[in-house]
Chain A
Amino acid sequence: MTTATAVRDLTLVEAVNDALHTEMERDPAVLLLGEDVGRAGGVFRASAGLLERFGPDRCVDTPLSEAGILGTAVGLCMAGWRPVCEMQYDAFSYPCLDQLINHVGRYYWRTRGAMEFPLVVRMPYGGGVRAPELHDDSPETYYAHTPGVKVVVPSTPADAKGLLAAAIRDPDPVVVLEPKLVYRTARGPVPEGEHIVPIGRARVARDGSDVTLVAWGAMVPLCERAAEELAGEASVEVLDLRSLKPLDEEAVLASAARTGRLVVVQEAPRTCGFASEVAALLAERAILDLHGPVLRVTGFDVPYPYWQLEDLYMPSVERVVDAARRLLSF
């Protein structure tokens, strides 16, 4: 799918910006709307340069109105646009859940396929960034639980570009969660020009044979560090899901067949978190491959803490290593 040959070294947020430039250049129906996306270029600079390049009709500074952004995006789709909605922060997206659940995930169904709603909701998400309350949430479960909606979470710059481009081209509504913790620390080669990473395919970030760490977003590099820590004692596979919905079930099952031991790592609260979905899949379809229980390392069922305590809340290398060791000695 990649037509580009050259690569550039970019940070994850630069790769997001690259995807927006490339896709808006390619398709004049793509329009970005959100708070501070134009004049400011986005509070994280994800949309820098778009206003200058594409003008105020296609890079739209909106009122502070998350439900209005997503609600008008539904109407923009009906008018033939492919809107990309930026939610400024994870928790600021909650007002738009009304539109997402009641309409975005249902309107294609409601019209029995006559009208498509190819919109994208993208947002920086996740903790560990020393920010005030409600700038730290991992809301993936709310989105993945909504029928009619797809959810992707890149962990590398190349995937940030390729998954966002795939989301923009997808005929269904797609929520793209961008791990802001590694917006500027994740740096890597990104194909120039058009670059697509198909939605629904996981990525083996590190090969291993004794235990699998399943993760997405900012938890992927964390699991890679945990795998290093365990290097002398076990061969650790790291599976980056990349797409929560559709979930690459075959990749999860294949990893289970290889290692028989899985730890699922998420920063969201534990109850009904997406890690539970992965654990349920393994319970239903991999039971004979498993050498021990599926373990979860998660945030806790508490409000996300003041940031001076957030390192205790967030899954750490220490907690992941502990879970892997418990499983290896089960």
Chain B
Amino acid sequence: MSASPAVPADQGLRRVIGDGSGVPDGDPGVGPEELLQLYRSLVLLRTYDERSVVYHRQGRIGTYAIFWGHEAIQAGAVHALEERDWIFPSYRESAIGLLRGIPAATVLSWWRGHPAGWWNPAEHRVASICIPIATHVPHAAGLAWGLRLRGEDTAAVVFFGDGATSEGAFHEGANFAAVMRAPLVLLCNNNQWAISTPVTAQTAAATLADKAIGYGMPAARVDGTDVLAVHGAVREAVERARAGDGPTFVEAVTYRAAPHATADDSSAYIDAERVEEARRAECLGRLDAYLRRAGVLTDAVAEETRAAALETMREGIAAAEAEQPGDASLLFAHAYADPPPALARDLDDLRRVTGR
């Protein structure tokens, strides 16, 4: 075991941000301007998430998968990429495209079940939101491998949760990526719950990162509430990928401090005290405190950042709600690039009956 390139089980979690008293801060690895950019991304995602829960309660969006407390994993990874690198989100990262210029209205429309909720993955290098667990891991492996075959210097990162590591698609995607030496980062948000299934019921492995050993790929375990630790680990993984050394598994350990989704009542299965502990140690608060200790963040910048994020959301929900109802033709428009003739007949018939 000690000869393995990946020996994560006995490796402590990578951390950079200290606690402001006994645990000192480490080297952030980035300068003050980039620290503030990370901060703005965290605030934007946090604001997106909190407003979305409100919008759901107001009946303005449908069922919503909450990612409160996981913003550091998302922002830390995205900031470790170049614009040309690809992102493959699961539904837990539904708003990650905001960090790549996708409008809030687009993602809100997606959660509103409106056909305006789409984007061109190639334009933003953000794949469509993946609902079925782990099934996008092979997509990311194929894209990364395919771009390498074309001689492009492009990496990809795929996001998934702890539960996803039990899926066959995770295994097939990870194995493919390793065999093909795809420039891919497999980023596992281990928040320790898959709806009501704890990670201890998900695997008998000591850590999820242990699984990397079986694929012959290195792994890192990081504190998922420490955006600088995530950023550093993903940046190193991307460097490996660019050097032609293949994929890396990064396990970002955190705790799900919110229900799985707005439709879930997690009080039925989760320990409220443990949730409170996670909420006290959440990622934005940790970064905020760190930046103030480092003299990078002021009250004025914090207030301005929060106000800008709130304004983005106000504009986003207004634009999403201003979308006209989708036309019946959209039922058929993009089922095929070259559709069977029967679809046009079906549309005519639908219009004849419904008058729409």
Contact = CB atoms under 8 A, between A and B. Distances in A.
B142 A108 contact: no
Nearest to A80: B150
B128 interface: yes
Interface size class of A (residues with CB under 8 A): 35 or more
Interface string A74-97: 111111110000000000000100
Contacts of B136: 103
Contacts of B119: 111, 114
A246 B342 contact: yes
Contact of B342 (A71, A148, A171, A249): A249
How big is chain B's contact interface, by range? Answer: 35 or more
Given A108-B334, A171-B337, A75 B128 contact: no
A245 B340 contact: yes
B142 A98 contact: no
Contact of B143 (A31, A79, A110, A150): A79
Interface stretch (A11-19, A61-69, A186-194, A228-236): A61-69
A114 B149 CA distance: 23
Contact of A72 (B131, B132, B142, B168): B142
Contacts of B169: 67, 71, 98-99
B138 interface: yes
Given A63-B179, A110-B118, A99 B138 contact: yes
B135 A71 contact: yes
A102 B90 CA distance: 14
A303 interface: no
Interface string B34-56: 00000000000000000000000
Q: Which of B119, B139, B150, B180 has the most CB of A within 10 A?
A: B139
Contacts of A76: 142-143, 145-146
B122 A109 contact: no
Contacts of B175: 63, 65, 68
Contact of A81 (B86, B141, B146, B179): B146
A62 to B, nearest CB: 7
Contacts of B173: 68, 71-72
Contacts of B147: 79
Given A68-B172, A72-B176, A99 B340 contact: no
Contacts of B32: none
B144 interface: yes
A70 B143 CA distance: 12
B121 A114 contact: yes
Given A68-B138, A81-B146, A115-B120, 6 more contacts: A68-B141, A71-B137, A72-B141, A79-B142, A80-B146, A110-B128
Interface of B: 86, 115, 118-123, 127-128, 131-132, 135-147, 149-150, 168-169, 172-173, 175-176, 179-180, 333-338, 340-342
Pick the 3 closest A-B CB pairs, nearest first: A75-B142, A71-B138, A79-B146
